[in-house]
Amino acid sequence: MNHCLVNGIAADYVSVMDRGLHYGDGLFETIACRNGSAQFVHEHLARMRDGAHRLDIPLPEPALFVQDISALLARAGKTGKCVIKLMLTRGAGRRGYRYDRRQTSTRVCLLSAWPEHVSRWKQGIRARLCETPISVNARLAGIKHLNRLDNVLASAELGERFDEGFMMDAHGHIIEGTMSNVFAVINDVVITPDLAHSGIQGIIRDKLLRIAADQGLQTQIRALQQHELLDAAEVFVCNSVLGVCPVTRIVEQDKEPGEIESMLDQTLRRLIKNNAQATE
């Protein structure tokens, strides 16, 4: 199941001169959809707006993205699950790295089937430490830009044994998974890596930090060492499609799902359900 709109028109291609193709000059958002409802749309569009501002890419009216999402969800129907990916590129332009501020950006909205692995991963994932380092660039940190070659190369290290891999910066600090944000529970403190210089500031990551604080848990956003991750009482990952998933094995070390991960997962599920009901 794949349906795609390019600038609001049914199509499955963009111009060969599009800068998203040439340079990864653009942004994307991945939105989980259940029962005909797209989750946390406003948060995703807000992050895209921030990224477009930082990259100096003209941002279409958010209502156009909302219209695209609604049109594709109408095709998917009210039952089942699917994933919508939004992309925004600087658009088709001249050769070379310099860009013309007058050129028109390209917006893409793609609907895909729900990934089959998600239900299995909810029971626990197997992870490794990746050798591919994550790029460090404070000007790009936090946003979901289209150039994900670090993650592509790190994902190639997973093979059949591992579901996810943790990426580190040049100092050996854990930053994120190849497709997820990471949390560790150490001495009952919920810790997630500092993303000031690299990594993606995930929508679900932000939700979990808020939930944890509301539940009276101590949280920290700081550098996370490899040995801390391996020794942590709980390790779990999150993204918009997975929600929260416990890590039950890191390399050869087994871990048990923990109470904090379970509580955060259940609270997030209620939040998603309430959010969906509020938008009906």
Give the span between the Cα atoms of 143 and 139, in whole angstroms: 9
- Region 101-113: mean pLDDT is 95
Give the span between the Cα atoms of 84 and 145, in whole angstroms: 16
The overall average pLDDT reported for the chain is 94
Record the pTM. 0.94
Encoded tokens for 96: 């070379």
Residue 87 φ then ψ, to 5°? -130, 140
DSSP state of 172: -
Q: What angle do CA 108, 111, 115 make, to 5 degrees?
A: 130
Q: Between residues 210 and 78, which one has the greater pLDDT? A: 210
Q: Are 195 and 174 in contact (CB under 8 A)?
A: no
Residue 151 φ then ψ, to 5°? -70, -35
Which residues lie below 8 Å from residue 118, measured CB to CB, with a gap of 6+? Answer: 241, 242
| Torsional sign, CA 105, 29, 14, 26 | positive
- Region 248-262: mean pLDDT is 94
Q: Residue 278 pLDDT > 60, yes or no?
A: no
Segment 94-104, tens digit of pLDDT: 899 999 988 99
* Domains, the chain, ordered by start: 2-114 (3.30.470.10), 119-279 (3.20.10.10)
Segment 21-51, tens digit of pLDDT: 999 999 999 999 998 899 999 999 999 999 9
